[in-house]
Amino acid sequence: MDPDDGEFLELRDQIDEGFLQITFYIFDQLGELDFTQPGLNKYTETEKESKQYITIKSLHKNMHNVFGSENEQFAKMLFLYISGYAQLSQPVSYKQFLKKLMPLWWKKTTKRV
């Protein structure tokens, strides 16, 4: 994923800044890459956002990190929804994750004068 992608930047801009960190934490916990491992721990947050991805395998394996338990049926259902019903071999990017789950994220508030 290109971190300078206009649609991605627009999605990010709609989400409350404090909550945006939580969205990536959730995505990262469900992701394939473990950025605490040697060789991967050197990346900036922006680089992590562009390199991390979710697979059906990582979702099954890491579901307990976010939801506290494992549930293969829920993992499959969530993966299919986030991926737009793509093949189970297709990875999901952070952009796809943000876009499909946008109704759940806290939005920036506009100040009224």
pLDDT tens across 52-70, in order?
Answer: 999 999 999 999 999 999 8
* Predicted model pTM: 0.85
CA dihedral 19, 24, 26, 29 (to 10 degrees): -150
For the chain, how long is the longest CA-to-CA vector? 50
Q: Which residues of the chain have pLDDT under 70?
A: 1-3, 110-113
Cross-strand bridge partners of residue 54 = 92
Residue 99: the pLDDT is: 93
Residue 98: the pLDDT is: 93
Residue 106: the pLDDT is: 87
Residue 79: the pLDDT is: 95
